[in-house]
Structure 1
Amino acid sequence: GILTDKNRNVWLYGIDGIVVSYDSGNNWLHNESEQKNSVLKLCSIKKDILYSLYLGGQDGNGIYYSSNQGNDWKEIYKNNSSILLSISCTEQGLLWAVGKEGRILKYNGEITEVNELSKNYDSFKLYQNYPNPFNSSTNINFILEKKTEVKLDIYNVNGEKIKTIINNYKQPGNYSIIWDGKNNKGEMVSSGIYYYRLIQINNSKTKKMILLQ
């Protein structure tokens, strides 16, 4: 394969490792590194940062990282049981890797599996309020599966936040919160459609409720 990095250096990679040209292809240097295996993919994020995906027999399959234009490489991931197929660098500074059996990895200083992200994403449940419609007050129930920082906000039909009920850390458990139909000023709001939104660090869930007076 071939890669032109952010410094316009040209990299060639394959079964013999990596070679690089710093002068538009006039001269080529073999990149001496810890990578003794075939290089399947090379990608660049910033001017000095490179990632390479290697494959090599009993040495397994993994990812190397360089922060100094390939002069030194550090292995950041290795797995002998699950083969990675490709890597991709994003403009946001993230590295993504895909493998067999639907495996997806994300790297931003540390390796995270996407299925782990999914577990975090579903680490709480928000239920429909009751009664609904309601006259003066209603119960909002939710479950937290781990200790986390959460917010519970109320919005009117125009999307304006009118009330913050919770804004702190909570322990895992079941919670039942009563909203008395009042805004942050302590004033009773008018009849209509409202939305309550439970916000976690990287996720939020919203449900609709109706106030009738």
Structure 2
Amino acid sequence: MRVVIAEDSALIREGLARLLTESGHQVVATTATAAGLPELIHARRPDIAVIDVRMPPEMTDDGARAARRIREADPRQPVLLLSQHIETRHSVGLVSTGAFGYLLKDRILRVDDFMDALTRVAAGGAALDPEVVAALLRTGDSALSRLSAREREVLASAAEGLSNTAIATRLVISERTVETHMRSVFTKLDIPESPGSHRRVLAVLTYLRPTS
């Protein structure tokens, strides 16, 4: 897997590069600033871009804004955001396009979880940290009123990127029951089945979209 790392902390940047290299991946570029990042991604064409949310030059949400520009230029480019502080302003729109992840930085210390998330996002899936999901849910209460408590649990787990099998294991229910809950979610959120659409992603997006 070809990876670009955008992280202003030299310790984290080099640590990530070493972790990925030792896991058999190729780090094709690293940068400590969000300035010029979209151009770097365009030039290197990585399989995934790992981007810190808070980076120079402004040290606010520069990385998240760069990620949005990257996806506007190429909606298929996988992006994994990392952050110590949860930023939701740019995240909801990115979730809708798939191949997107958002993890808190302490997740890197859980190497297996981190590598699984990286692989899933690079393959076009989603990987959202549970705390990120919780923060996003607080902005989307209108959609919650349509769902039962169990349906919310199922959809929140789907938002993290879990498969039906993994959701069933987490909630100690059968996989068929998970499928039943997901069908109910699609119905309640008015997401019909149609060619070329990803109902699961659309359901998560509807669930997480801010009301204001």
User: TM-score under structure 2 normalisation?
Assistant: 0.26
**Largest Rg, 1 or 2:** 1
Of structures 1 and 2, the one with the larger relative CO (CA 8 A, separation 6+) is 2
- Greater percentage in strand: 1
User: TM-score under structure 1 normalisation?
Assistant: 0.26
